Amino acid sequence: MEAVRRILVTGASGYVGGRLVTALLEDGASVRVFVRDQKKAQSNSWASSVEIATGNASDYQSTLKALTGIHTAYYLLHSINAGTNFDKIESEMATNFAKAAQEAGVKQIIYLGGINNDLKSSKHLNSRANTGRSLASTSVPVMEMRAGIIIGSGSASFEMLRHLTHRLPVMTTPKWVMNKTHPIAVRDVLWYLKSAAKLEKPVSGIFDIGGPEVLTYADMMQKFAKLSGLRKRLIIKVPVLTPNLSSLWIGFVTPVPTTLARPLVGSLISEVVADPAKSIDHLIPKPAEGLIDVSTAITLALSKVSSNSVSTRWSDATAPFAPWQKAQSDPDWAGEALYKDTKVRVTDASMENLWVAIEEIGGDNGWYGADFLWYMRGVMDRMIGGVGLRRGRRDPIHLRVGDSLDFWRVESLIPGESLKLYAEMILPGKAWLEFRIKKLPNGQSEVTQEASYSPRGLGGQLYWYAVLPLHTFVFPTMIRNLIRSANRKDYAARNA
């Protein structure tokens, strides 16, 4: 009798990877995840049910260690946020992973790429195909599944579609918005991925996976508008909108930053349609209930958004070389400076209500005053290629380590005690915003709000002093309104 296969999932902190881990565990699989940040992985609901290996796919030794004892390895990594040389980074990572898998004795690699059957192929899709070739460069069998647009709550493609349709009743679009595409529901992607781990023998080859419909991006927007109760959108096709110009516009209108929108939009120049000759049906039959059509997939995704039950989101994954993560503080040998703005208040508000107020900060809930200044800082960030405020929150009530929160990311969180955010806006240095609460002997609560900043060079120091006058208004207002919010009686019923 065959022993239980051990499965490794890379990209477990990302959109598809996080959901795949859950799907595999539901099937009773033995799962190990390979992540850069252990604390971030531990914040997931599945953390206690998996083995967590830390490291980086670019590092051979940590990759080899993660792959040792593994039967099937899922490769769900990409670096499209890593700037113009993302294709080189992706190829090097995949080659490193393949060599480590061969040495570790891995029996099967399963890779999720993108459909690439059109002669007019984007740099993004070419890079995904090249990643597949790099993974297949050793003796380990590689099963490459290629998908088109994935429709599901929290995916970057879905967020682009949703916000463009909601915010623009009239759209000027490139003529290739009429190109055919072959979308697939994220539930069906997970079906194929988890089913591949159950195949009796290792498989090598390229297989296209698509939903039951082929339609244009414009058709999808009209379907989305109808299902959302909106009027039919007026789409005006113009020949002058290049992918670069379109991605700048999408970066302004939607939560998806320009750096991520650019490769996604560039892919629309291609006809992304599954090739019947690359069908996977002879290996993995369709689900018993059939594949999910586009309208149903959009409806399911919208229901997840409206019920605040989005389990993973495109912004969950962090690229190690993303433009907004390049800023560093002064090196240790220079005597690293750390500037702080600390506010401490004592209040009669309960610890429970204070924590609720802290955990609900940001997104549509705002930043407890001076929201116009926060908005302007977000606009400035997007203008220079940062993420701005439009990422919002995955969940309007609860946070977990690794969550994106406007232009911050949750670095650490101790429920009921502290929340620390790391700035992912473009800065000449590194910045954090931290909230701490504690119970005093007299029964009152103490709230500490601390903004800290580690500058990079003279420019970083000048930046701190330039924004200092704004701090004298923003931060006192924030802690004052946070305490006021904590005193609202309706907070006690939030978790009822």
Q: Within a domain: residue 1?
A: no
- Do both 295 and 402 map to the same domain? no
pLDDT for 349-388, tens place per residue?
A: 999 999 999 999 998 888 998 888 888 888 888 777 777 7
- Do both 96 and 42 map to the same domain? yes
State the residue range of the domain holding 424: 323-493
At 334 the pLDDT is 38
What's the gap between Cα 10 and its chain centre? Answer: 14
Q: Within a domain: residue 387?
A: yes
- Do both 432 and 465 map to the same domain? yes
Q: Which of 316, 341, 356 is the last residue of a domain?
A: 316
Structural tokens at position 182: 């072959």
Distance CA 17, CA 15 (A): 6
- Do both 94 and 219 map to the same domain? yes
What count of residues does the chain have? 496
Return the half-sphere exposure (C-beta side, CA atoms, 13 A cut-off) of residue 305: 18
CATH number at residue 241: 3.40.50.720
Q: What is the pTM of this model?
A: 0.73
Q: Are 24 and 197 in contact (CB under 8 A)?
A: yes
State which residues of the chain have pLDDT below 70: 1-3, 79-86, 119, 121-122, 124, 167, 170-176, 238-269, 306-311, 313-336, 489-496
Q: Which of 253, 288, 316 is the last residue of a domain?
A: 316
Interacting residues of 289 by C-beta distance below 8 A, sequence separation 6+: none
Q: Within a domain: residue 251?
A: yes
- Do both 29 and 90 map to the same domain? yes
At 61 the pLDDT is 94
Interacting residues of 69 by C-beta distance below 8 A, sequence separation 6+: 6, 104
Residue of 473, 450, 495 lying closest to 360 (CA atoms): 495
- Do both 150 and 278 map to the same domain? yes
Q: Is 33 left (phi over 0), alpha (psi -120 to 50) or beta?
A: beta
Q: Within a domain: residue 141?
A: yes
Give the number of domains in the chain.
2
C-alpha angle with apex 20: 17 to 25, nearest 5 degrees?
130
CATH number at residue 348: 3.30.530.20
- Do both 148 and 83 map to the same domain? yes
- Do both 332 and 249 map to the same domain? no
At 333 the pLDDT is 36
- Do both 421 and 297 map to the same domain? no
Distance CA 131, CA 89 (A): 10
Q: Which of 316, 350, 365 is the last residue of a domain?
A: 316
Q: Within a domain: residue 426?
A: yes
Longest Cα separation, the chain: 74
- Do both 452 and 309 map to the same domain? no
- Do both 312 and 333 map to the same domain? no
Dump the DSSP string for 285-320: PPPTT-PPPHHHHHHHHHHHHHTT-----GGGS--T
Q: Within a domain: residue 436?
A: yes
- Do both 234 and 377 map to the same domain? no
Distances (CA, A) of 88 to 12, 85, 131, 134: 22, 6, 9, 11
C-alpha angle with apex 4: 2 to 6, nearest 5 degrees?
130
